[in-house]
Amino acid sequence: MTGGAGFIGSNFLHYWSKRYPDDALLNIDALTYAGNRENFSDLLNRPNFHFFKLNINDSQKLDSLMTDIDLVIHFAAETHVDRSIGNPDSFLQTNILGTHNLLKLALKHGVRRFHHISTDEVFGSLTLNDNDKFHENTPYSPRSPYSASKAASDHLVRAYGETYGLPYSITNCSNNYGEYHFPEKLFPLAITNLLENKKVPIYGNGQQVRDWLYVQDHCRAIELVCLLAADSANYLVGGLTEDITNLEAIKLIFKLMHKDESLIEFVKDRPGHDQKYSVDWKKINQDLDWKPSVDLEEGLTKTIKWYEDHQTWWQPLKQKNQAYFQKQYRT
């Protein structure tokens, strides 16, 4: 596994280790600002769990670790759109060149399956009055440095499958939320700000539409694809059946936390802000019998409870990144 110190990766580490306790797990992570050893500290004493602080562009060290690996699950990525606008270089280095490096080594060592975690953002933006949804055959049309770098990595994975016969699968997920989510993203930022009685910044008028996927449901989808899907399979994974605006989602958090909406603060919109993502996850439901186990309200309730119970986890992260938050949201 790559990126197991991040949000989705660490959740998947816990998920897989509980489901398959006898499997040997090798976690590679560079521990960038969003990577945290605390996310998997409870696994470090397990004899079949191994962690290496390592950049996925380090070919020599990765080569020695890839021996006898039968499944690669590739989470490692720079993911925050805002940061990609300010510093796109690191996104290209990690998301494109890093993925290419892993693919070369996976091919060399004959891994059984290379599973690539991607995003619905590679498809670009729907219009707000559009009833269409993204699906597996939607043309790629990325609009930010982040989504462009993920689109490139998707194409590389497919190219290695078509050209060299590397067994692979790809999942394009919608916006995840849940435990261990770094507090620069919308939901954890809102929840932690409200726990601190601070204002919650909303870009523009808050009418952007997103699909929201509870991270544990995403973990289950990845498991099914890795174990049951055919080679070269591609699935979209979403969490909702009806559209919801960012403002409506934030107001639901306010309601669940019993907070006054006067703490909502509209701030200058992000450059090139995609207006709408909507995901059709019919294919994974039909092929692998997957569907979300929780609706948004239940998933947010679980998430809020986790942040209430783990303030010693997120408070140091927010304190360390205060300068970024103040610069980004002017608040």
Does 56 score more than 80 pLDDT?
Answer: yes
- Confirm whether 312 is domain-assigned: no
Residue-level pLDDT at 270: 85
pLDDT over 80 (residue 295) = yes
pLDDT tens digits, one per residue of 181-199:
999 899 999 999 999 999 9
| Nearest residue to 256 (alpha-carbon basis) of 307, 211, 297, 213 | 297
Torsion of Cα atoms, 97 then 55 then 182 then 19, to 10°: 100
Residue 330, domain member (yes or no): no
CB 79 within 8 A of CB 53: no
CATH number, domain of 62, equals: 3.40.50.720
Determine the Cα–Cα distance for residues 178 and 303; give it in Å rounded to an integer: 5
Note whether residue 147 is domain-resident: yes
Q: Give the model confidence (pLDDT) of 145-166 as tens digits.
A: 999 999 999 999 999 999 999 9
What was the pLDDT predicted at 118?
98
More confident residue, 272 or 167: 167
Does 185 fall in a domain? no
Asked if residue 84 is part of any domain, the answer here is yes
pLDDT at residue 83 is higher than 90:
no
Active site residues: 120-121, 146
In a domain, 263, yes or no: no
Q: With contact defined as beta carbons under 8 Å apart, do 210 and 246 qualify?
A: yes
Query: How many domains, in total, are found in the chain?
Result: 1
Task: Look up the domain containing 137 and give its range.
Answer: 7-180+211-242+275-294
